[in-house]
């Protein structure tokens, strides 16, 4: 305990010395004041790591698994997991700023004892929150022009997807988890896919508040008869072995739907959508995959 306490005091002293100038930015818990242009940064949220790396920010510490191969942890120390920071390692780094979000958000109070910390969770208003996080990180690291360029590119890609998906009928967003299936409607965790494609849901009465989705059967999907199926394979997203989404969907009922018959089943980039949702490059990857599917 004495060693941890000493490390906490040392890290706090370093953070105080680094905070010569501060900036105020929007976070998931309201406005927060943090050191400007922090040099030693640790992030525990994959979406935040994604956006920070897209802005060219180097990280001193990251969780043990980023799940998305395109996110590089080269040069960064492993400082715990997405769910549980290693406080001793974190204190040893002496960060100027710690970023948490989503799965790591409950650790905000703990890491705040070691350094200035912010919660950059991206909520159900995914696109709005994603752009707000890009702007906030741009302000913190004095990279406003880069942040504006990322947002402009994102807006262009969203517009192109909307044009490509115009008049394409209904869509059903499905997540498979082994043999289980759940659907998501507008306003839900993955409802932003309806926003960017401008496609109405094949099942209008889906509850928007279901974080784990609305449980569906093959019969219900066949009855809804979507024009397009957008499919997320949760097992693939987290690297689990087991039945794939394609195997779960394979049945005469689903194979009889308009989506299946017209080859309009889109298997979305799983880790980018499920783990990195709202991170800049993850958003671009998912949007590009949908645009390509409609172009085909």
C-alpha 260/C-alpha 265 separation (Å) is: 6
Compute the average pLDDT of residues 155-160: 98
Whether 293 contacts 266, CB under 8 Å: yes
Percent of the chain with pLDDT over 90: 88
Q: What's the whole-model pTM score?
A: 0.92
Taking 3-state DSSP, the helix, strand and coil percentages for the chain, each rounded to the nearest 5, stand at 45, 20, 40
- What domains can be seen in the chain, in order of their start residue? 2-142 (3.40.50.1980), 165-295 (3.40.50.1980)
pLDDT digits (tens, 9 = 90+) for 168-189: 999 999 999 999 999 999 999 9
Percent of the chain with pLDDT over 70: 93
C-alpha 117/C-alpha 90 separation (Å) is: 12
Q: C-alpha angle 24/135/35, rounded to 5°? A: 35
Helices (H), the chain: 2-18, 46-54, 87-93, 108-112, 126-140, 144-164, 192-197, 218-224, 234-237, 245-249, 252-255, 258-261, 270-274, 280-295
User: How confident is the model at residue 77, as a pLDDT?
Assistant: 97
Compute the average pLDDT of residues 9-30: 68
User: How confident is the model at residue 74, as a pLDDT?
Assistant: 86
User: How confident is the model at residue 12, as a pLDDT?
Assistant: 46
User: How confident is the model at residue 207, as a pLDDT?
Assistant: 78
pLDDT digits (tens, 9 = 90+) for 117-147: 999 999 989 999 999 999 999 999 999 999 9
If pLDDT is split at 50, 70 and 90, which confidence band does 13 have?
Answer: very low
């Amino acid at each position: 305990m004495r060693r941890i306490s000493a490390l906490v005091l040392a890290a706090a002293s370093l953070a105080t010395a680094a905070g010569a100038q501060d900036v105020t930015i929007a976070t998931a818990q309201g406005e927060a004041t943090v050191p400007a242009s922090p040099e030693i940064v640790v992030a525990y949220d994959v979406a935040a790591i994604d956006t920070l790396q897209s802005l060219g920010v180097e990280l001193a510490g990251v969780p043990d698994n980023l799940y998305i191969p395109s996110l590089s942890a080269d040069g960064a120390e492993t400082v715990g997991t997405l769910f549980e920071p290693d406080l001793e390692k974190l204190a040893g780094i002496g960060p100027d700023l710690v970023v948490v979000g989503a799965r790591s958000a409950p650790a905000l109070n703990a890491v705040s004892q070691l350094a200035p910390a912010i919660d950059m969770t991206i909520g159900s208003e995914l696109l709005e929150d994603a752009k707000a996080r890009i702007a906030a990180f741009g302000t913190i690291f004095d990279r406003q022009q880069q942040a504006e360029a990322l947002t402009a590119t994102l807006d262009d890609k969203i517009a192109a997807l909307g044009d490509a998906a115009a008049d394409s009928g209904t869509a059903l967003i499905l997540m498979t988890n082994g043999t289980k299936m759940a659907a998501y409607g507008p306003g839900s965790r993955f409802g932003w896919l309806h926003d960017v494609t401008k496609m109405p849901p094949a099942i209008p009465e889906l509850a928007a508040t279901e974080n784990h989705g609305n449980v569906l059967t093959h019969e219900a999907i066949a009855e809804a008869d979507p024009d397009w199926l957008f499919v997320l394979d949760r097992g693939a997203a987290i690297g689990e072995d087991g039945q794939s989404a394609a195997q779960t969907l394979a049945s005469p009922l689903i194979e009889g739907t308009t989506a299946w018959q017209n080859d309009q089943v889109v298997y979305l980039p799983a880790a980018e959508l499920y783990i990195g949702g709202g991170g800049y490059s993850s958003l671009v990857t998912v949007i590009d995959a949908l645009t390509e599917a409609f172009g085909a």
